[in-house]
Structure 1
C-alpha cells in the first residue's frame, strides 16, 4: 500500500503545488499560504457586501468568497466588484455555487474564481440508496461531465480559476452507492470533475476536501494528494478548512486539529477558518495558524529519519494497540492530566480549576464534565484527601519520601527509571523524549507492564517528533500507554489553544495517544487567582482537543455553519440560544445550519439538526432524516428538545445540578 501523502514525515517541507493565478494574487508553488473567508451579508445587498468585504480585507483576508445561489446573485457580483474597485480594493472575489450551473457560468465571467461542489453541481442527493450497474454509473458520470464542461470552457476563456470543493456531508447518492460515506468517496467525487478539466487542458484548479469530522477531513486530504500522484495528475494547490467548526474556543480548537495537522506535514496553500462569528474574526485565526510555519524548517531540530514503512495507515483511523495500565490504554478513553505544580498552594476550593467543585456546606465534591482524571502536583503533594475520581502524580523523590498513599503515583526521569529503586506496583509514569528511546530503554519498556510513558519534546517541529517516537514504539512491539505532553511559552491563550490543538490533535487523529498533559512556561508574577485561571484554561483545552479529535466526548458538540448570504436566521444568536438550553447534554451532536445547502448533508454525523428552510421557518432533523418541516422559528428550539425527549435522550438540566458553594 502506498502511504506517501507528503514530502516528509520528519522534516518540515512544504508540498510544491502548481501555481494558480487568482486575480493577480497567485496561490501555490513557493507563494505564501493565503488567507480567505466568506461574506455573510445577502449578496443582493451590494453596499452591505462591499462594507463587509472591506472589513474582511482589513482583518487580513486575501481572497473573499461570496455566495451566488441563483442568477440574480451571480449578476449582482458585478455591482459588488465595481464598487470595491471604485474604492481601491482589488481583492480577488470568489463565487460560491451550489446546485446552479447557470449561476456558475455567469459568475465565471465576472469574478476571479468560482467554487463548485461536485456533490450538487450537476449531481443530486435525495438520501436514497441507488443500485448502479457499471454501465448506468458510467452513463451518469458522462451526463455530469457534459453539464460541467461549459463552465470549464468559460473559465479557461476568461482566465477564471476554479475550486473543486468536496464536502463530506454533500456527497451524491451515486458516489455514496459506490464508495460509501468515506474519504475515498470524497476524493473520487472531486477527481471526476478534475479529469475533465485536464482533458480540456484547464489547470487553474484548487482542490478541497472539507468535513466537520476532523478525522475524515484529514484522511480525505491525505488520500487526495496520494491519488493525484498515483494517477499522474497535476499537483494542484489545496484549500484547507474544517466545515461548520462552530464558535469561540471550540471552533478554534476544532479548526486547528484539522487544518494544523495538515500544515504540519507541509500540505495546504490557502486556509479558511469557518467560525460561527463575524467573518472578519476568521482571518486572524487563520493567520495565526499559518504564521507558525514561517521559518519552521530553519528552527526545527533534525528528527531521526524513519526506517522502513510507515507503521500506521494515514488514510483510516485505527487506535494504537496498547495494554491497560491503571485506567490508561486498552479500551479506556484518553485521560486528562492537569498540572497544578505551579500553584503556590492547593486548597479544597482550588480544585475547581480542574473540574472538581467543593461545597463547604455539604462538605463534598461534585465533578464537572471537565473533571481531570489526574493532577500533577510536582514536588509538593496535595495536603488533603482528594475527591473520588481524581488521582495524583508527583515527582519520584516526592512519591518515595511520602510513603504509601492511595491514588498517589510517581513520575520518573530516564535516569531514575533505570535505577533499581522502589516502584508503584500498578502504575508508574516515565517522562521521555525520542532521543531516550535507545535499545536498552526499548528492551525495558517491552517487559514493563506497569509503566505509562509521558512523551515530550522541545523541538519546534514538535508533532512530527512525537509521532516519530510513537512509530519507534510500534515498530518494536511496545504496547505501553502513552500520554502526550506539550508545554508552551507565556503567550496569548488563543495561540496556545491553536498550537496545542495542532500538536496533540494531530497525533490523536492517527490513533496515537492515551492521554494529554499541557503546561506553560516562563510564567511569573502571577497571583494565585491568575494561576488558577491558567490551570482551568489548560484543563478545558485538554478536553476540547480530545473532543475535536473525536476521541473522548465530554460535552455537547455544536456543528454550526459560519453563515453566508444564504443564511435564513441569525446564526450567532440562534447558536447561543440553543447552546444555553442544551449544553448539559454530554456527547450529543447538534447541527445548526443556516440554509438547506448547509443542511442535512453538511451536518453529516450530527444526532439532531436545526436547519433554516425559509424566512422564520425551521426544519428539524434526526440524523439526516427530516422529522418536522416548516416549524415556526420561535417554537423551533422547544420542538427540538421535544424530539430529544421522544428519543429518551433529553435530561433536565436541574437534575444534573447540585448547589455548590465555593
Structure 2
C-alpha cells in the first residue's frame, strides 16, 4: 500500500512532527480527560475490594506516586456496594481522586457501581457475552439479532451513566473477544475495533458520549494496529473523536514489563495518540505511575524539534505488520533476525571478562567461550581495536581508518562515516553510518549500486523516530533494499529511563517493520553494568516487537482484587524453573477474568480458579482443573514436556 499524501493517514496528524490528536473532553469527576488537558496517568488497586481500609491505604499510596485516576475491581454486587465505603473513607481523608470500577461479566454490578464512582470500565467481549471459545456461524440476520440483544443488556447501564454523570471506558481486550466477533472478524485488530464499535454505536444512538476507549493486547504489535485502526474507523464513520486509554495488558514484571509497555504505549504516543496511560506491571501498583510518567514527560521535548520534510508517498501499512523487504548482506536483512551490535567504543581497553555483559563468557578452566541467549552478534570497538581473539559467535566492527590499517581485514568489518575518504571496501560487509537529519542526496545513488553494505542510521532530533522513518520511506520509494541498523545514542539515564526511551525510539520503528539491527550507544564512558543494561534492553525490544524471540515470555497480569494468589511470588517461582525455554510463552493469570482470554497469545497457561486451586491451559484449552497450588508448577512443567516444548536447563541431565 502506498498512500499518496500524509493527510490521508487518518490515524495521526503527521508522520514527521509530533502533534497530539485532539479528542473530545470527558469529565471524570473533577479531572477532565482529553481535549487540551494533559495526558493523565492511572493505575489499579491489587487489594481485595472487600478490604475497605486496605483499598484506601493502597489508593493513597498510588495517588502519592502520581495516579490521577484509580481503578478498583468490582466482580460482583457485594464489591460494587463496597466501593461506596472506600470512596467515603477516601473523601473523609481529603483524597478526591476519581474512582473507576472495573467490570467483567456482571451488568448488575456495573449498574450499581455507576451510581457510586466517577467512571465504569466494561469489556465488550464479556459484558453481554459469555466466552465459550466456540466457532459459531452467524447469518446477517442472526448477527443483527445478537446486536439487538446486546443493546437490551447494555442500555440500562448507559441510562444510569447519563443520569449520574458517570463516564465509561469501553475497554476491548485482544484475548476476550466474543465468539460472535471471532466468527466474523477473527482474532484480529479489526475484530477488536468492531467489538468496541458495537457498544459505541449504541451509546451514540442514546446520545451518551462520555466515553473513553481502549484496545489492549499483550502483543504490542497487535495493540498498536488496533488503536490506529480504531481512530481510522471513528473518523470513517463520523463518530466522535473519543479520548484513548493506552495500555499493554499483562505486560509482566521488571525489565520485560517496562520494555513491552514502552514499545506499545510509546509507539502510540509518538503517533500523537493517547489521553491517559496505564502501565501494567506485575509489581506493586504504586510502581506503575512513575514508569508511565517517564513516557508522558518525554513528549514535552518533541515540540522543540527542527522541521522534518513531510512524507508524500507513504509505503508502510499502519494497520498490518509487514517487514520491510531487504537484500541479504552476510547475516543482515532478508529473512535474518535483526542483529544486535554492542557499542564498546567508549571502553578504552576491552578485556575478555567484559564480554560477559553482552552474553559471551570466557571459561578459563576449559579455555573456551560460552554464549547465552542474549549474546550480541557484533561488537563495535570504534578506534580501540580489541587485542584478543573473539568467540566465534561475535564479530568486530571498527572505524574505517583503523580497519584499513589492520592486518586482519577479512575477519573485521569497517564502519564508514565519510565516503570521500574510502579507498577500499570489505568484500562481504561494510557499515555506512548516516545521520538521517543531515545527509548528501548522492547517498541514494551509491546505495542503489551496492551489494555489500548495511546502513547504520541515527538521528539527533528530539523526535528521532520521525526523521529515521522518513529516510527509510525514501529508501522504500526508491526500491533500495539495503538493510538498516537503528542506532540510538543516550546520555547517562536511570535504568527505567533508558529502557523506556530506547524501547519507544526503536520499538516504534520495529512495529512498523523497519529495522534489521539495533545498536544502543552510550555517549559517555560506560560501566560493565551499563553495557549489560544496553544489551539486555536491545534484545528485550526485539522480543517485545516480536521480531527476534530469544527468551521465555511471561504474559502475567498486574494483579487486582480478583487475584487468587500472590502474582509476584508465583511469577518469580515459575520464572525460576522455566526461564531457559527460549520462545515459549507462559500466561500467569490471577483469576478467570484475566485468563484464558487475556492470555490469548500464550502457549501454556497457569490460572487461578479458586483458593489454592490452579487451572492449566494449553493455548485456550483447559487441560487440568483444580490442581492444588503446591503441585501446579510441577504439573505445568509436565504439560510443557508432553507438548515437546521442554528442554533441560544447561548443566542439568534429562
TM-score by length of 2: 0.98
When residues 449 and 149 of structure 1 are mapped into structure 2, their CA distance, relative to the original with a 3 A threshold, is same
Alignment equivalent of 1:352, drawn from 330, 343, 356: 356
Aligned to 1:624: 620
Measured in 1, the distance between the counterparts of 2:398 and 2:570 equals 45
Measured in 2, the distance between the counterparts of 1:350 and 1:421 equals 33
Alignment of 1:516-527 (within 5 A): 516-523=518-525
Aligned to 2:406: 402
Aligned to 1:660: none
Aligned to 1:365: 369
Measured in 1, the distance between the counterparts of 2:489 and 2:536 equals 15
Q: Secondary structure at the match of 1:120?
A: helix
TM superposition shift of 1:652: 1.6
Measured in 1, the distance between the counterparts of 2:312 and 2:246 equals 30
Alignment of 1:641-660 (within 5 A): 641-655=637-651
Alignment of 1:390-539 (within 5 A): 390-413=394-417, 415=418, 417-419=419-421, 421-523=423-525, 531-539=527-535
Alignment equivalent of 2:324, drawn from 309, 320, 323: 320
TM superposition shift of 1:133: 0.5
Per-residue deviation, residues 4-37 of structure 1 (Å, max 9, x unmatched): 2101110111100000000010000110000000
When residues 61 and 420 of structure 1 are mapped into structure 2, their CA distance, relative to the original with a 3 A threshold, is closer
Aligned to 1:566: 562
Alignment equivalent of 2:610, drawn from 597, 614, 620: 614
Per-residue deviation, residues 499-555 of structure 1 (Å, max 9, x unmatched): 0000001100111000000011244xxxxxx62111111111100110011110001
Alignment equivalent of 1:244, drawn from 241, 244, 250: 250
When residues 644 and 355 of structure 1 are mapped into structure 2, their CA distance, relative to the original with a 3 A threshold, is same
Measured in 2, the distance between the counterparts of 1:319 and 1:296 equals 27
Tell me, yes or no, if the aligned pair for 2:214 and 2:244 is still in contact at 8 Å: yes
Measured in 1, the distance between the counterparts of 2:147 and 2:296 equals 37
Aligned to 1:305: 310
TM superposition shift of 1:435: 4.0
TM superposition shift of 1:295: 4.2
The reply to whether residue 540 of structure 1 matches residue 536 of structure 2 is: yes
Measured in 2, the distance between the counterparts of 1:229 and 1:592 equals 37
Deviates more, 1:343-352 or 1:266-275: 343-352
Tell me, yes or no, if the aligned pair for 1:3 and 1:313 is still in contact at 8 Å: no
TM superposition shift of 1:438: 4.4
TM superposition shift of 1:593: 0.2
Q: Secondary structure at the match of 1:613?
A: strand
Deviates more, 1:136-145 or 1:2-11: 2-11
Measured in 1, the distance between the counterparts of 2:47 and 2:529 equals 37
Alignment equivalent of 2:206, drawn from 200, 204, 208: 200
TM superposition shift of 1:650: 1.1
The reply to whether residue 99 of structure 1 matches residue 95 of structure 2 is: no
Aligned to 2:191: 185
Alignment of 1:122-271 (within 5 A): 122-271=128-277
When residues 419 and 656 of structure 1 are mapped into structure 2, their CA distance, relative to the original with a 3 A threshold, is farther
The number of equivalent residue pairs is: 647
Aligned to 1:15: 21
Tell me, yes or no, if the aligned pair for 1:247 and 1:277 is still in contact at 8 Å: yes
Tell me, yes or no, if the aligned pair for 1:16 and 1:235 is still in contact at 8 Å: yes
TM superposition shift of 1:418: 4.2
Measured in 2, the distance between the counterparts of 1:419 and 1:436 equals 18
Question: After the TM superposition, which segments of 4 or more aligned residues of structure 1 sit over 6 Å from their partners?
Answer: none
Measured in 2, the distance between the counterparts of 1:435 and 1:287 equals 28
Aligned to 1:526: none
Measured in 1, the distance between the counterparts of 2:59 and 2:201 equals 34
Q: Secondary structure at the match of 2:145?
A: helix
Measured in 1, the distance between the counterparts of 2:458 and 2:177 equals 40
Aligned to 1:334: 338
Measured in 1, the distance between the counterparts of 2:169 and 2:47 equals 22
Measured in 1, the distance between the counterparts of 2:366 and 2:245 equals 54
Alignment of 1:555-594 (within 5 A): 555-594=551-590
Measured in 2, the distance between the counterparts of 1:649 and 1:292 equals 41
Tell me, yes or no, if the aligned pair for 1:343 and 1:532 is still in contact at 8 Å: no
Q: Secondary structure at the match of 1:14?
A: coil
Measured in 2, the distance between the counterparts of 1:304 and 1:122 equals 48
What is the aligned-residue RMSD (CA, Å)? Answer: 1.1
Tell me, yes or no, if the aligned pair for 2:341 and 2:519 is still in contact at 8 Å: yes
Measured in 1, the distance between the counterparts of 2:166 and 2:273 equals 24
Tell me, yes or no, if the aligned pair for 1:35 and 1:286 is still in contact at 8 Å: yes
Aligned to 2:295: 289
Tell me, yes or no, if the aligned pair for 2:346 and 2:524 is still in contact at 8 Å: no
TM superposition shift of 1:437: 4.9
Tell me, yes or no, if the aligned pair for 2:10 and 2:235 is still in contact at 8 Å: no
Tell me, yes or no, if the aligned pair for 2:348 and 2:384 is still in contact at 8 Å: no
Q: List runs of 5+ in structure 2 lacking aligned partners.
A: none
Tell me, yes or no, if the aligned pair for 2:409 and 2:426 is still in contact at 8 Å: no
TM superposition shift of 1:645: 1.1
Measured in 2, the distance between the counterparts of 1:114 and 1:418 equals 63
Q: List runs of 5+ in structure 1 lacking aligned partners.
A: 524-529, 658-662
Q: Secondary structure at the match of 2:340?
A: strand
Measured in 1, the distance between the counterparts of 2:394 and 2:133 equals 46
Q: Secondary structure at the match of 1:260?
A: helix
Tell me, yes or no, if the aligned pair for 1:342 and 1:531 is still in contact at 8 Å: no
Measured in 1, the distance between the counterparts of 2:190 and 2:178 equals 13
Alignment of 1:46-65 (within 5 A): 46-65=52-71
Per-residue deviation, residues 276-307 of structure 1 (Å, max 9, x unmatched): 0000000000111100012421x111111112
Q: Secondary structure at the match of 2:602?
A: coil
TM superposition shift of 1:419: 4.7
Measured in 1, the distance between the counterparts of 2:266 and 2:442 equals 35
Deviates more, 1:247-256 or 1:461-470: 461-470
Measured in 2, the distance between the counterparts of 1:550 and 1:256 equals 14
TM-score by length of 1: 0.96
